[in-house]
Amino acid sequence: MPKRPYDLPPLSALSSFEAAARHESFKSAAQELNVTPAAISHQVKALEAELGQQLFHRHQRGVELSQTGQMLQLTLQHGFEQISNVVTQLRQDSQTRAVTIGATTAVSSLWLTPRLARFWKRHGNIAVTQNVSDTDHAQTGCNLSIHYGDMTRDNGDCRPLFRDRIAALASPVFAAENPAETLANLAHLPLIHLNATDERWTDWRTWCTALDYDGPIGEGLRVNNYTIALQAAQDDMGVVLGWNALTAPLVQSGALVRLLPQDITAPLDFYIKTHASANERALLLRDWLLKDPP
- Residue by residue, what is the 3-state secondary structure of 197-260? CCCCCCCHHHHHHHCCCCCCCCCCCEECCHHHHHHHHHCCCCEEEEEHHHHHHHHHHCCCEEEE
The confidence band for 78, taking pLDDT boundaries of 50, 70 and 90, is confident
Sheet holding 165-170, edge to edge: 240-243, 165-170, 257-265
- pLDDT at position 155, please? 82
The confidence band for 117, taking pLDDT boundaries of 50, 70 and 90, is very high
DSSP states along 15-60 = HHHHHHHHHT-HHHHHHHHTS-HHHHHHHHHHHHHHHTS--EEEET
CATH 3.40.720.10 describes domain 11-91: no
Query: Measured between alpha carbons, how far is 259 from 179 in angstroms, rounded to an integer?
Result: 7
CATH 3.40.190.10 describes domain 99-161+271-291: yes
Summarize pLDDT for 245-263 with one digit per residue, the tens.
999 999 999 999 999 999 9
- pLDDT at position 236, please? 95
Residues 6+ apart with CB under 8 A from 214: 208
Query: Measured between alpha carbons, how far is 203 from 193 in angstroms, rounded to an integer?
Result: 7
Summarize pLDDT for 185-204 with one digit per residue, the tens.
999 999 999 887 667 789 99
Query: Any idea what DSSP says for residue 111?
Result: I
CB 19 within 8 A of CB 10: no
Please indicate, yes or no, whether the overall pTM of this predicted structure exceeds 0.75.
no
The confidence band for 139, taking pLDDT boundaries of 50, 70 and 90, is low
Delimiting residues of CATH 1.10.10.10 domain(s) in the chain: 11-91
Long-range CB contacts for residues 61-67, cutoff 8 Å, separation at least 24 = 62/24, 62/25, 63/20, 63/24, 63/25, 63/26, 64/24, 65/21, 65/24
Delimiting residues of CATH 3.40.190.10 domain(s) in the chain: 99-161+271-291, 164-266
Residue 157 burial class via C-beta count within 10 angstroms: exposed 0-12, middle 13-18, buried 19 and up = middle
Query: Measured between alpha carbons, how far is 169 from 175 in angstroms, rounded to an integer?
Result: 9
Fold of 164-266: D-Maltodextrin-Binding Protein; domain 2 (3.40.190)
Query: Measured between alpha carbons, how far is 280 from 288 in angstroms, rounded to an integer?
Result: 12
Query: Any idea what DSSP says for residue 163?
Result: -
